[in-house]
Amino acid sequence: MWNRHSCQLAVQFIERLRDARLTEAALVQTGAVGDPYDELEASLSFNQIQYALVLDSDLVARLSQEDSDNAYKEVVKRLMNYGSPGRQEYYQAMATQWRIGERSVFLENVLASLDHLAMDSSAEAKQAIVWAYQEAKLAGGRC
């Protein structure tokens, strides 16, 4: 459970940084003034995420070695290679790929596991299939 929680915090941290980066790019494009990173650092919830994440120093060290576009790989590796991953880790890894990873990689993984997912009647399995369907439609058949 601790590992899943650390990975969940890492995903939230990366999402917040990604959102600040996108906001900064939008501000530059529109000529507006503001610093999304100052707002982020002033956010109580972001600080709580940072402080909690620091308790997993190994994960923080691994994440700091990756750029933000590839950080999801460390989270997925941690979920799938730590202890004996079960169903929860598997679906959390898929959600991590969807939320902060490369969507094409997510789609490939779902397609590779489609038979297994189709037999699973859980909400997580259905959600993964829906996300994959959405990504396939957005990709316009390029997959």
Give residue-wise pLDDT tens across range 84-141: 888 899 999 999 999 999 999 999 999 999 999 999 999 999 999 999 999 999 987 5
Question: How far is residue 125 CA from its own chain's centroid?
Answer: 17
Return the pLDDT at 137: 92
Predicted TM-score of the model (pTM): 0.85
Which band of pLDDT confidence, cut at 50, 70 and 90, is reported for residue 1?
low
What residues contact residue 127 under an 8 Å CB cut-off, 6+ apart? 95
Q: Would you list the DSSP string of 92-121?
A: HHHHHHHHHS-HHHHHHHHHHTHHHHHH--
